[in-house]
């Protein structure tokens, strides 16, 4: 299963990639929404890990773009901005799972199990 990580923090990209590769997922990462558009067009993934605060915009505003063009891709939002309002907006936009940072390996596996079950 292919996974795309969209996060501007390289250490998060490396950490998530490592966690996911332990479960035999194929991972790629990008650090901006503009790079995410290209990555999605070239090779749509099954799962997308999406940060909210990126250098060229908010991930939460990118959810509808993903859902309208890649409806089978599941979105897991990961963000340090973990307010009830952020949760509501993310789910209203179509996110499948919301995980606050910092996260654990168990939370990542749980989120994947939830969307692939």
Residue showing tokens 């966690």: 19
Please give the model's pTM, rounded to 2 decimal places: 0.96
- Which tokens is 25 given? 């997922």
Query: What's the confidence (pLDDT) of residue 104?
Result: 94
Q: Is the pLDDT of residue 82 over 90?
A: no
Banded model confidence at residue 117, pLDDT cuts 50, 70, 90: confident
- Which tokens is 22 given? 């332990």
Separation between Cα atoms, residue 69 and residue 86, nearest integer Å: 23
Angle of CA points 47, 98, 73, to nearest 5°: 20
Domains along the chain with CATH numbers: 2-116 (3.40.50.2300)
């Amino acid at each position: 299963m292919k996974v795309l990580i969209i996060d501007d923090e390289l250490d998060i990209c490396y950490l998530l990639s490592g966690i996911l590769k332990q479960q035999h997922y194929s991972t790629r990462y990008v650090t901006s929404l503009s790079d995410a558009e290209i990555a999605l067009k070239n090779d749509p993934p099954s799962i997308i890990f999406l940060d909210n605060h990126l250098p060229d915009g908010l991930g939460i505003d990118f959810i509808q773009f993903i859902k309208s063009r890649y409806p089978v891709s599941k979105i897991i939002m990961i963000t340090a901005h973990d307010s009830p309002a952020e949760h509501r907006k993310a789910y209203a936009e179509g996110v499948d799972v919301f995980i606050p940072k910092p996260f654990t390996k168990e939370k990542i596996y749980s989120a994947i199990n939830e969307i692939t079950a």
